[in-house]
Structure 1
Amino acid sequence: MISMHLPVYLLMLLLGTALIIPLAEKLTNLEIKIYLSYSLAIASLFSVSSLVRVLQHGAYAYHFGQWHPSIGVEFLVDEFSAAMTVLVMILSTLVIVYSFRDVEHEIQPDLVSGYYVLIFLMLFSMVGMILTNDLFNLYVFMEILSLTSCGIVSIKRKKENLMASLKYLMLGTIGSVSILLGIAFLYMVTGTLNMTLNYDLIQAAWQIYPRNILVALGFILTGFGIKAAVFPLHTWLPDAHSTAPTPSSALLSGLVVKIYLFGAIKMLFRVIGMDIITQVDIPLFMTYFAMVGMIMGSVFAIGQKDIKRILAYSSVAQIGYIVLGIGLATESGLSVALFHVVTHALMKSALFLSAGAVIYQTGRRDVRELEGIGYQMPITMSVFTIGALGMIGIPGINGFMSKWYLSFAVLEAGRPLVLLVILLSSFLNAVYYLPIIISAFLREREDHKNVLIKDDLPLTMTGPMVIIAGLCILFGFFPQLVMNIIQQAMQTFM
């Protein structure tokens, strides 16, 4: 069936687009944007069709060249992998459409085509990481993602961008080497790079080589902890996400760190297995790191005045929620972690895009200078408000459902005290988000009266923001649209 090949067609389309962009020198700026839009639309259609196919016929393994999985390359296309691919493609499409005008404002004209080459290579690597069932290919896709992520940070060619990108590259390299060493130690004891075969062999290997597997776990979790900015390994994130162009910030915070977390989930549950990770108390340690990150990320955010740095530190706290769900080591906990991967991607994209729109129109980044901005930019600040209230956990927005599900998962796991940390983190979220909302809508600048006018933004920027905010509300009222897919995918994890 042709539908089985759709994930491969999707990857080929993304890679082909990245290769063709530099060759399109004779095309006008408008023609390039139209070409990119068509490519993204087709790629999104492929991803949705693949999801429909999986929901109708179930998960399947795709073998390249019909080689046996022990020596060939294999993709595992299950319900959540297909759904995650849809999220990456649709959210990226909206962010890239937003970027058509914003990047002209943020980077030099001669760098725009190179920027989109990096973006499409990034999309290619993210989809590859999601789908691959091979440890070495996971590493290869991860390296492409790391390099392109550094590229879209440094593209502005400013001192702060170059410094942030260098810091990101250095720490990312340490993370990559750690993961590669972990994979090497696993290969030593199992003799295969296929994730499913590793899982089948790991229990016998654990009886003979427990130290090798423990060392592999340590390297892998440390590497993915750096890549995903898990506290206290987050030090690269605030500088990288706050200095990058706004579309880059939205992609990095909304998607890239989630892909690394998804990679860690695959390694823990599809390669190592629940029995081994619980024997060595990995979930307990992950829970401790998660709780500290949930609090400290928000504490650092409270002390910031730059709106993009506030959002960057907020991501550190929100990553803690995902790690907490993973650390519960239960089916409901992992379900919530995957659910929050989706909800946070939408909320944080809405926040970064709306903050970027404010910078685009007014040039202001300091939250102390945003008095009355809700009257100058009502649509933009309404989108920001929806994303911020979702982060706080106000009912009717998808962020509330994440915390609702997580609270029940914590109680089900017999850890009621962790619920207090969730409540405290929500309160801290309110401490730094509510003043921005109040200042925007309830205060007035000394040099400007509050007169309601329409946002002075192009439709290509306003439209994506509104759509993302709408999705936040949609999944707030109908979380089962996502949760049902996650529940179906649980059999491939637990």
Structure 2
Amino acid sequence: MSNIHFPVYILMVLLIFAVTIPLQRKPYGRRFQLLMVSILGIAWIMALLELLKVLWDAPYSYTFGSYPAGIGIEFLVDEFSALMTLIVLTLSLLIIIYSLKDLEHEIESSRMYSYYTLVFLLIFSMIGMIFTNDMFNLYVFMEILSITSVAIIAIKKKKDTLMASMKYLMMGAIGSVTVLMGIALIYMVTGQLNMSAINQEISAVWRLYPRNILLAMGFMITGFSIKAAIFPLHNWLPDAHSTAPTPSSALLSGLVVKAYVFSIAKIMYRVVGKNISVDIGIADYLIIFAVLSMMMGSVFALTQRDIKRRLAYSSVSQIGYIFLGLALASEMGFSAALFHVVSHAFMKSALFLSAGSIIYLTGKRDVKNLDGIGYEMPITMTVFSIGVLGMIGIPGTSGFMSKWYLGLAVLDAGHPELLIVLLLSSFLNALYYLPIIVSAFLRERPGKPLEMHRDGIPETMKVSMVLVALGSLVIGLFPHLVMDIIQQAVPTFIGSGMGL
């Protein structure tokens, strides 16, 4: 079996299993759970081998059949796309292991097969968006991701989840239409849908059709920004992420929004090119929205008493960090943005899984009612604390390294004022996160002494949470494991000859 085919094999394994899940005749149980975890494990092994191949050899393009890239489908497999695929499958595997018990308390047993069908289609579409080097196929994968994202919220079948999923669906539809209009405008002036071919053509046509290019960029970035929930296009996210089943929340906040951000990175740097993105002012506008998102997401999080809504608004703020790195239009900024994509995926997954465990065991969602919970659930709150410390940016965590790299990038780009915004945002993160930890470990509930107990949650939930938190710590303590790969991948996006 040749490693060169692994991107296709990964997608085939996920899609075939998703299609066969509804055909299951036996009741949902351990047999299906083991099969599902095994399938994801096989995909994970292929993703790891694919990453090693790219690191040892070189990035490559994969075309389907005998059609050339400009006509047929093309995947571009570089260091970061291989790394991101491995991250997606790693976290998806851990989240699904967590879900095996958690979902029993969240959705009806008759909907289990439907839920996992949707999840596998969701993972399939994310990986497709990561690999594809074709604008139309990017749109197709995006639509699959949008529909499955809405469905894994609505499957809970409660009034609040149905309302949240309807809002998500309407906003997502607006985003999809604007992205499609942008793709049409790009095709109108270049006659190409392949990203590399567009990049070669656009340098010759953008001065002839600057308004078309500007409108196309505006439509596409706005559409993907709606789906990525940048402020002020975020209003669907708090309801969707807070009301969804916990595994859905972890997938949506930890992974799904990153696929849309990664698509923006492709459009800015791989399709249009760095120089054109800067010349037409897109990068400057993104800085404004990044700063607004970093600050306003934190301000809104301060007012939330529901723990999952607080985490959801925190995601709005953290997406701002990634947009800031992309908007700097420099290799350092781009590297910092990609590093935070990986870092935030682990941190936010750890936070949502630990918050879900609290709700699973105690039913408590109000942060004012978590006094002493650190003694009742020490492992869960330790995982939550690791995620919190990362969000604040305490040394030793992946979040600290994200902010360190971003800080260096804004100084290198000549924007010291943005360093103040980074520090202020970190201060706001501390204001809405630290009180939860203080209440959990330092406050005693009336009538209950502070006595340490073992977490009463199932082992599958416990192990998954701990492994996600350990992943965040490993990235924080050994950031070069991720940053070295990212720095190898940056020239794929920001090359001296791209978009000139």
TM-score category (smaller protein): over 0.9
Cα distance in 1 between the residues matched to 2:247 and 2:206? 44
Residue 351 of structure 1 aligns to which amino acid in structure 2?
A: L
Unaligned stretches of 5+ in structure 1? none
Deviation, 1:209, is 1.1
Residue 330 of structure 1: aligned partner = 330
User: Is the deviation greater in 288-297 or in 141-150?
Assistant: 288-297
**Secondary structure of 1:66's aligned partner:** coil
Per-residue displacement from partner, 1:299-341 (whole Å, max 9, x unpaired)? Answer: 0000000000000000000000000000111000000000000
Deviation, 1:377, is 0.2
Per-residue displacement from partner, 1:78-121 (whole Å, max 9, x unpaired)? Answer: 00000000000000000000000001110011011100000000
Q: Is the 8 A contact 2:28 2:113 kept in 1?
A: no
Deviation, 1:404, is 0.5
Residue 292 of structure 1 aligns to which amino acid in structure 2?
A: L
Cα distance in 1 between the residues matched to 2:63 and 2:447? 65
Residue 269 of structure 1: aligned partner = 269
Deviation, 1:20, is 1.2
Q: Is the 8 A contact 2:350 2:387 kept in 1?
A: yes
**Secondary structure of 2:76's aligned partner:** strand
User: Is the deviation greater in 221-230 or in 16-25?
Assistant: 16-25
Residue 476 of structure 1: aligned partner = 476
Residue 380 of structure 1: aligned partner = 380
Residue 467 of structure 2 aligns to which amino acid in structure 1?
A: I
Residue 145 of structure 2: aligned partner = 145
Residue 110 of structure 1 aligns to which amino acid in structure 2?
A: S
- Structure 1 segment 51-200 matched on structure 2, within 5 A: 51-200=51-200
Deviation, 1:207, is 2.0
Cα distance in 1 between the residues matched to 2:211 and 2:5? 40
Q: Is 1:455 paired with 2:455?
A: yes
Residue 244 of structure 1: aligned partner = 244
Q: Is 1:216 paired with 2:216?
A: yes
Residue 50 of structure 1: aligned partner = 50
Cα distance in 2 between the residues matched to 1:202 and 1:485? 29
Cα distance in 2 between the residues matched to 1:28 and 1:402? 41
**Secondary structure of 2:206's aligned partner:** helix
Per-residue displacement from partner, 1:421-476 (whole Å, max 9, x unpaired)? Answer: 00000000000100000000000111322110100011100001001111111111
Cα distance in 1 between the residues matched to 2:490 and 2:299? 34
Residue 406 of structure 2: aligned partner = 406
Cα distance in 2 between the residues matched to 1:189 and 1:275? 18
Residue 16 of structure 1: aligned partner = 16
Cα distance in 2 between the residues matched to 1:338 and 1:10? 23
In percent, how many aligned pairs have the same letter? 60
Residue 234 of structure 2 aligns to which amino acid in structure 1?
A: H
Residue 363 of structure 2: aligned partner = 363
Residue 71 of structure 2 aligns to which amino acid in structure 1?
A: I
Per-residue displacement from partner, 1:109-147 (whole Å, max 9, x unpaired)? Answer: 101110000000000000000000000000000000000
Deviation, 1:27, is 5.1
Q: Is the 8 A contact 2:389 2:397 kept in 1?
A: yes
Residue 394 of structure 1 aligns to which amino acid in structure 2?
A: I
Residue 285 of structure 2: aligned partner = 285
User: Is the deviation greater in 282-291 or in 84-93?
Assistant: 282-291
**Secondary structure of 1:75's aligned partner:** strand
Q: Is the 8 A contact 2:293 2:320 kept in 1?
A: yes
Residue 263 of structure 1 aligns to which amino acid in structure 2?
A: S
Cα distance in 1 between the residues matched to 2:279 and 2:232? 24
Deviation, 1:228, is 0.3
**Secondary structure of 2:139's aligned partner:** helix
- Structure 1 segment 221-236 matched on structure 2, within 5 A: 221-236=221-236
Cα distance in 1 between the residues matched to 2:26 and 2:358? 33
Cα distance in 2 between the residues matched to 1:72 and 1:127? 18
Cα distance in 2 between the residues matched to 1:430 and 1:355? 17
Deviation, 1:25, is 2.0
Residue 203 of structure 1 aligns to which amino acid in structure 2?
A: S
User: Is the deviation greater in 410-419 or in 443-452?
Assistant: 443-452
Cα distance in 2 between the residues matched to 1:440 and 1:289? 34
How does the TM-score come out when normalised to structure 1? Answer: 0.99
Residue 488 of structure 2 aligns to which amino acid in structure 1?
A: Q
Unaligned stretches of 5+ in structure 2? 495-500
Q: Is the 8 A contact 2:380 2:465 kept in 1?
A: yes
Deviation, 1:192, is 1.0
Residue 315 of structure 1: aligned partner = 315
Per-residue displacement from partner, 1:235-291 (whole Å, max 9, x unpaired)? Answer: 000000000000000000000000000001001100001111111121111111111
Cα distance in 1 between the residues matched to 2:426 and 2:475? 19
Deviation, 1:66, is 2.2
Cα distance in 2 between the residues matched to 1:343 and 1:150? 25
**Secondary structure of 1:207's aligned partner:** coil
Residue 254 of structure 1 aligns to which amino acid in structure 2?
A: G
The Cα RMSD (Å) is 0.7
**Secondary structure of 2:451's aligned partner:** coil
Residue 497 of structure 2: aligned partner = none
Cα distance in 2 between the residues matched to 1:48 and 1:97? 19
Residue 417 of structure 1 aligns to which amino acid in structure 2?
A: E
Residue 199 of structure 1 aligns to which amino acid in structure 2?
A: N
- Structure 1 segment 390-405 matched on structure 2, within 5 A: 390-405=390-405
Cα distance in 1 between the residues matched to 2:66 and 2:49? 23
Cα distance in 2 between the residues matched to 1:344 and 1:206? 35
Residue 145 of structure 1 aligns to which amino acid in structure 2?
A: L
**Secondary structure of 2:25's aligned partner:** coil
Cα distance in 1 between the residues matched to 2:201 and 2:123? 32
Per-residue displacement from partner, 1:149-173 (whole Å, max 9, x unpaired)? Answer: 0000101100000000000000000
Question: Number of aligned pairs?
Answer: 494
Per-residue displacement from partner, 1:3-23 (whole Å, max 9, x unpaired)? Answer: 100010000000011011111
Cα distance in 2 between the residues matched to 1:211 and 1:40? 45
Cα distance in 2 between the residues matched to 1:358 and 1:25? 34
Q: Is the 8 A contact 2:59 2:76 kept in 1?
A: yes
Cα distance in 1 between the residues matched to 2:310 and 2:448? 26
Q: Is the 8 A contact 2:28 2:112 kept in 1?
A: no
Cα distance in 2 between the residues matched to 1:207 and 1:231? 31
Residue 258 of structure 1: aligned partner = 258
Cα distance in 1 between the residues matched to 2:291 and 2:70? 39
Cα distance in 2 between the residues matched to 1:279 and 1:326? 15
Deviation, 1:28, is 4.7
Q: Is 1:26 paired with 2:26?
A: yes
Cα distance in 2 between the residues matched to 1:145 and 1:448? 46
